[in-house]
Amino acid sequence: MIFYKESALQQVNSLLQIYDKLHIEKESNEEIILSGEILVNRTSLSYHVYNAYEIKIHIPLKSDELPYIFDAGNAIDSNYSHQYKDGSLCLETDAAVRIRFIDGFDLVSWMQEFVEPYFFSYEYYQRFGCFPFGERSHGIEGVLQSFGDVFQETDNTKVCKILKFIYRDRYRGHLPCPCGSGKKMRACHGDSIKPFFVDDGLKKIVEDLFKKGWVL
């Protein structure tokens, strides 16, 4: 999942057509920086948000790093837990975003599916003290939850076993499922495990977790 300048600029132009108060602040061979204002106009769970936010988006080029975003207008309370120490916003786990865009990253979809919901969730939390769509844990727990969504499994111990299987073994549906249920894989988590042995991109996401020491 690597952005090259030409394709990145094409996506940026598409984004600017929708978010016309954003502009290119910097353009180099290493990154593109967008800054300006976005309007979040969303309703969910009978709660409506209609607010403008000043943001800054960094799009790394010729790198496997995902785009990241800052709250340039300081709309997010500094004590809010879902932002990093450098001020960038914690939209989702890296793994969840990569899985979502396994067929190719799309900047507009990223904005609509991750950035806008982030601001909506923040406003909802400030109003009601809870998150409208649930809350992802931080660190490895959040990563395991992301994969748990894929495997339809809430037990992180089982999720970890499945990830280890994907990393170390090969798919054979007639063998016991790595989750430890005692069922054959094809009758248990097989449908959600098999894509990781078919799609090299999905397999790489898991391999990177182990290479970085996130899962042992």
Q: What tens digit of pLDDT does each residue of 10-46 get? A: 999 999 999 999 999 999 999 999 999 999 999 999 9
The fraction of the chain above a pLDDT of 70, given in percent, is 98
Query: What is the pLDDT at residue 138?
Result: 86
Predicted TM-score (pTM) of the model is: 0.92
Pick from 165, 128, 164, 133: which is nearest to 149 by CA?
A: 133
Give the right CATH number for 5-128 from 3.10.110, 3.30.2250, 3.40.1440, 1.10.760. 3.10.110
Average pLDDT of the chain? 94
Helices of type H across 5-155: 5-18, 94-100, 107-110, 116-128, 139-151
Query: What is the pLDDT at residue 215?
Result: 61
Segment 125-183, tens digit of pLDDT: 999 999 999 888 888 899 999 999 999 999 999 999 999 999 999 999 999 999 999 99
Query: What is the pLDDT at residue 216?
Result: 58
- 3-state helix, strand, coil split of the chain in percent (to 5) is 45, 20, 40
Query: What is the pLDDT at residue 4?
Result: 87
pLDDT band at residue 2 using 50, 70 and 90 as cut-offs? confident
Domain locations along the chain: 5-128, 139-211
Q: Is the pLDDT of residue 202 over 80?
A: yes
